[in-house]
Amino acid sequence: GPLRFMDEKDYFEATRRSSDADFLVTPWEEPSAYFGGHYNIMFPKRVYWSKVRQAGQPFTETDPVYGKVYHAANADDVQKMMDLEGAYWYHAHPRTKGTTGFPDLIFDKPWVKNDRYLGVAFKPGMGQDQSEARLCEWRCFDAVDTMNNMYAGAGLQPKYIIADIDTYKKGPEDDTYANFPVNYLRLDKVPGPDEDWTPILKAMHDGDFFVSTGEILIKSYSVAGSGAKRTINADVEWTFPLAFAEVVWGDGKKIDRQIIPATDLGANGTKKFSIPFDAAGKAWVRFAVWDSAGDGAFVQPIWLTPSKTTTASAR
């Protein structure tokens, strides 16, 4: 408790000092307590909380030094804290390392069948197989596609794939910038370090972002039309020659895809894709583009029939 609060205070101040009017560093973390596997938690403000609650200790109290603090003893406590503070979480490095077996082992848990759980990290460099056409094909995409089939029609938001990194120890020769995927969020402006970070979390909750390894940009994207007749529209820019684009969907049971070959598209190009899509019998859809060097960019899945309900804790 007290030692963690002291560390959190230092962390909050370090991220505040590292931010400016156009660049925000947020004090989010990978607490990995109680839910299962390793995960990242994101708050819209600075929140003090500990991962232990002693016998007789309240769930929340006012500390004379740190103000409001939380003491979490189990998954229900962490969920309650997130509901009260407007926080979200997602699994780090799914199906490997400390998240081996997850999220699969907790697909049926209430904290996963909840809109405060956003999905899994896109962290392709752990168990990466360069013979695969897509980065993180099984660990990331299959995990989220499986969940979206499971939760189709359940009144939840789709689950997403979120670019995520681990830095740990670095040497002066390490080029981290070139090797990290990034989330491009749609925001009116970047919040300041002492402002409300809710706009960032709202964009992530709404799936209003795309992910890229950096070599491909999806400058705009939409699913136009209604009923069975839809059109996938995407304005794409890239560096290396493309390999293919793909439309991926699920019907609540199986996952399928349409591959659009793009080997005729050379380096440093742009193209506005317009792909007819038959949505009949399908629950969700997503779009991705991959190049000849194994790099990629993708948008987040959307339901083809809008969800009619939502969980109370996700509002």
Q: 72-76, 84-88, 178-182, 234-238 — which is least confidently predicted?
A: 178-182
Instruction: Kindly tell me if the per-residue pLDDT of 312 is higher than 50.
Output: no
Task: Could you list the beta-strand ranges (E) of 112-155.
Answer: 117-122
Local structure of 204: helix, strand or coil: helix
CA quadruple 235, 279, 258, 117: dihedral sign: positive
Q: What is the pLDDT of residues 218-237, one digit of tens each?
A: 999 999 999 999 999 999 99
- Calculate mean pLDDT across residues 179-188: 94
Instruction: Kindly tell me if the per-residue pLDDT of 308 is higher than 90.
Output: no
Question: Cβ of 231: how many Cβ atoms within 10 Å?
Answer: 13
Going along the chain from its start, the domains and CATH numbers come out as 2-208 (no CATH), 213-299 (2.60.40.10)
> 201 with 208: CB under 8 angstroms?
no
Q: 29-38, 72-81, 123-132 — which is least confidently predicted?
A: 123-132
Which of 156, 180, 192 is CA-nearest to residue 200?
Answer: 192
> 89 with 118: CB under 8 angstroms?
yes
Instruction: Kindly tell me if the per-residue pLDDT of 125 is higher than 80.
Output: no
- pLDDT at position 33 is 95
Q: What is the pLDDT of residues 64-84, one digit of tens each?
A: 999 999 999 999 999 999 999
**What is the percentage of the chain residues whose pLDDT exceeds 70?**
97
> 191 with 202: CB under 8 angstroms?
no
- 151: tokens are 């939760």
- pLDDT at position 307 is 59
pLDDT band at 315 (very low <50, low <70, confident <90, very high): very low
Helices in the chain by DSSP H: which ranges? 2-18, 75-85, 143-150, 198-205
> 270 with 235: CB under 8 angstroms?
yes
Nearest-5° Cα angle at 144, 140 to 146: 120
Statement: the pTM of the whole predicted model exceeds 0.85: yes
φ and ψ at residue 249, rounded to 5 degrees: -145, 165
